[in-house]
A = this chain, B = another copy of it.
């Protein structure tokens, strides 16, 4: 774990072979929400979840308890629309049922129940219309987009899918992703939707929290245009930071901060994991959220991490249960990096009836403290 990290080919969760990502957006004026689906290859993936926020909105997470019966799942749904948006999973279920994918429950191959775990972020009213939420059609569009995207496809980031209306500490949030190939050859990837009540930006310096401490061995060389190129951190010019602070203060006066917030993540790997190991990966991945956002895991955060393990590569022999360590550490680091990339990927600010949320790039002109 002290070797420089090797990013995956696309530096995204789709570097885990067989996983596909699709986004869909709620149509219409007044809508700023959407759904993101991570689709497993045929046969599904071992899955787990760890919920650490105090205000979670989830569906089918109890089925993922390693003590319970379902062994593999076909898709995970991340969605806007708060608890209403969980309905988008119904569209993913229907799509899977049509393909006879799911838990077989009868003699006919069509007798399946797809278990589609889902978690939501709060973005109600972000586009002006409190009732514009993802539903089954949004979920279906997202899973169709995932299916159509092909293997190792580039993952769209920023204000897409479940991140369409996302905000973080007064700034625009969104979707981010990152991946790494471990020395063992195992690939680990992460995808996040950042919509947190805490801040991604250190108010003292203007640097992104997630960039701190990522200059060295864990962040690795930024060979794919990432913001982690090694060396000492640089910080925004104090004048730029002061101007940014003023702008943010104005924006906050214009709109009260949203009451409920969440960071969602999927950590995926091609390793062979038991469901209990997958659960541990989901738990330690929350460390990556803690490093990128302050504070987190509050009563109004619904922070939830899913794990998907496709089971293509055995863990390295020798270290026994400790073989999991490199995946645990990588999962946390990737979640941090994916959050940084989500914040940097946010396009221009979000200004409308739902509030005024500048983007980081708008305020600071690009990445800082990690070059």
Q: Which residues of A contact B (CB under 8 A)?
A: 1-2, 52, 54, 202-205, 207, 209, 212-213, 215-219, 230-233, 235, 280, 283-284, 286-288, 290-291, 294-300, 321-322, 324-325, 328-329, 332-333
Contacts and interface: CB of A to CB of B under 8 A. Distances in A.
A333 B202 CA distance: 14
Given A213-B202, A216-B203, A216-B204, A232 B231 contact: no
A217 B230 contact: no
Contacts of A212: 209, 212-213
Contacts of A232: 204-205, 235
17 contacts: A2-B203, A54-B321, A204-B213, A204-B231, A205-B215, A205-B216, A232-B235, A280-B299, A284-B295, A284-B297, A290-B291, A295-B325, A295-B333, A297-B328, A299-B321, A299-B322, A300-B322
A287 B280 contact: no
Contacts of A216: 202-205
B209 A204 contact: no
A54 B290 CA distance: 19
B283 A213 contact: no
A213 B205 CA distance: 8
B231 A329 contact: no
B300 A325 contact: yes
A285 to B, nearest CB: 9
Residue of A202, A203, A295, A300 with highest tally of chain B CB at under 10 A: A295
Given A232-B235, A300-B322, A322-B300, A287 B295 contact: yes
Q: Give the top 9 A-B pairs by smallest Cβ distance, nearest first.
A: A204-B216, A287-B290, A212-B212, A295-B329, A290-B290, A204-B215, A284-B297, A298-B325, A203-B216
Contacts of A287: 286-287, 290, 295-297
Nearest to A197: B325
A52 B235 contact: no
Contacts of A298: 284, 322, 324-325, 328-329
